[in-house]
Amino acid sequence: MIPVQGYQNQKVAVLGLGRSGLATARALQAGGAIPLLWDDSPESRQKAEDQGFTCTDLTRNAAWEGIATLITSPGIPHLYPKTHPVIARAMELGIPVDNDIGLFFQSLATAQWDRYEQPPRVVCVTGSNGKSTTTALIHHLLQEAGRPTQMAGNIGRGVLDIDPPEDGEVIVLELSSYQTDLARALTPDIAVFTNLSPDHLDRHNGMGGYFAAKARLFTQGGPDRAIIGVDEHEGRYLANQMGQGPGDDRVIRISSGQKLEGFGWVVFARKGFLAEWRKGKQVASIDLRDIAGLPGAHNHQNACAAYAAVRALGLAPRQIEDGLRSFAGLPHRSQLIAERKGVKFVNDSKATNVDSAAKALQAFPRIRWIAGGMGKDGGIAALQPFLGSVVKAYLIGHSARDFALQLGQTPHEICETMDRAVTRAVAEAEPGDVVLLAPAAASFDQYPNFEKRGDDFVERVRGLV
């Protein structure tokens, strides 16, 4: 646990009592603060009280007397589409609003660090797609190289739940736009921006607000090294803002698909090969084509980002290549789960939007595609250019019929349920096919989250093959 500093004997309100909220309450208590907890859900309040915490009704004006700050969980809207009433009241009273990420950066360094030979470092990863894989891959590469490391944030443990870092340790955090948007302290040593595509636009009042939330990690955080995907306009803009010129190697530009020239430090992947160039000279190359845990161009971009991060931390190219080859991938993200009679089965349940589904559809030559769920604005119309590899689509969930209308000439079948979709795809698959779950939709019509949807796919595939 990271005890929160700066609030000893002060009342700190905590709004939202999920995983991060309860971890925040424990860390505040460990630092000597007096946490006052609230959640709109009676069940969540009862769970907190069962753990010995005090719940205080923050919807009552009298509850705010003496409160120093309000810490809110990332999932609770603080601005758009509508400010939560408790957060609105704090702002009316001038009480600072922060989140666990801000507390983490405020509290991480301690006097103990003065005795370390090498101070701990923090690597933060944000972006629309690939940030979980990139975060896990950085963590894996460090582990394989024998470097002490912990992983937390939007993946794994809450940031305040980790152990105080030891000498030379690297903390790797995945941060969502919800987390970067509000944190009052953001001071990563290395910040990574993977890419940008439309998502969570209601929460950020449009694409500009969404990008601004991501960019705060760089523009407010001031990292020593910025690793930025430049395959979209926003990434090129951010790299330009962070650098003092094309030769500034504090900015490492990364790409999947284009050769980057004329910059001080770049890492890019083309035709399945990762290349690192510094000051106009190639210094390393890795063949990614046969690395099972990183299939497709989108994972090659993740590999470039992770490679750049650990190179900035001092790992050698050969160490990195060995680590890439031993990476098994993450559940629900281009996860190879079975192979039978020349047919592969891939679980990419995390592909909850059009952009991530497009990347999955480009990763394999012959696809039997299971898609559908709670569709987002525009459905899958934008996927038309990527349907050439789809032999047939098997559509499930609330948006199955809407998706069917947008598939054009692509063969498809409305299956409605995962059970029927997997059964039909297995029955019709031929050697060389990939049965791919890449829903391009949220899961909430049939499942509580994308993990449960992916687990259902895995269970049904293994039951049949």
Same domain, 237 and 339: no
Same domain, 347 and 303: no
Same domain, 310 and 347: no
User: Does the annotation place 133 within a ligand binding site?
Assistant: yes
Rg (CA), the chain: 23
Assigned domain for 6 exists: no
Total number of domains constituting the chain: 3
Q: Which of 325, 350, 367 is the last residue of a domain?
A: 325
User: Does the annotation place 130 within a ligand binding site?
Assistant: yes
Same domain, 457 and 360: yes
Assigned domain for 330 exists: no
Q: Which of 98, 120, 149 is the last residue of a domain?
A: 98
Assigned domain for 104 exists: no
**CATH number of the CATH domain containing 371:** 3.90.190.20
Assigned domain for 1 exists: no
Count the neighbouring beta carbons within 10 Å of the beta carbon of residue 343.
19
Same domain, 15 and 116: no
Assigned domain for 457 exists: yes
Supply the pLDDT for residue 299: 92
Same domain, 163 and 301: yes
Same domain, 189 and 115: yes
266 strand-pairing partners: 253, 277
User: Does the annotation place 443 within a ligand binding site?
Assistant: no
Same domain, 115 and 75: no
Beta-sheet pairing, 412-416 with 265-270: unpaired
Assigned domain for 294 exists: yes
Q: Which of 300, 325, 350 is the last residue of a domain?
A: 325
Low-confidence ranges of the chain (pLDDT < 50): none
User: Does the annotation place 132 within a ligand binding site?
Assistant: yes
Q: Is the dihedral of CA 287, 291, 297, 303 positive or negative?
A: negative
Supply the pLDDT for residue 465: 83
Same domain, 214 and 76: no
User: Does the annotation place 41 within a ligand binding site?
Assistant: no
**CATH number of the CATH domain containing 233:** 3.40.1190.10
Same domain, 16 and 126: no
pTM: 0.87
How far apart CA 125 and CA 309 sit, in angstroms, is 10
Q: Is the dihedral of CA 68, 74, 78, 79 positive or negative?
A: positive
Supply the pLDDT for residue 191: 98
Supply the pLDDT for residue 292: 83
Same domain, 86 and 126: no
Domain encompassing residue 353: 335-464
Same domain, 142 and 286: yes
How far apart CA 353 and CA 428 sit, in angstroms, is 26
Supply the pLDDT for residue 295: 87
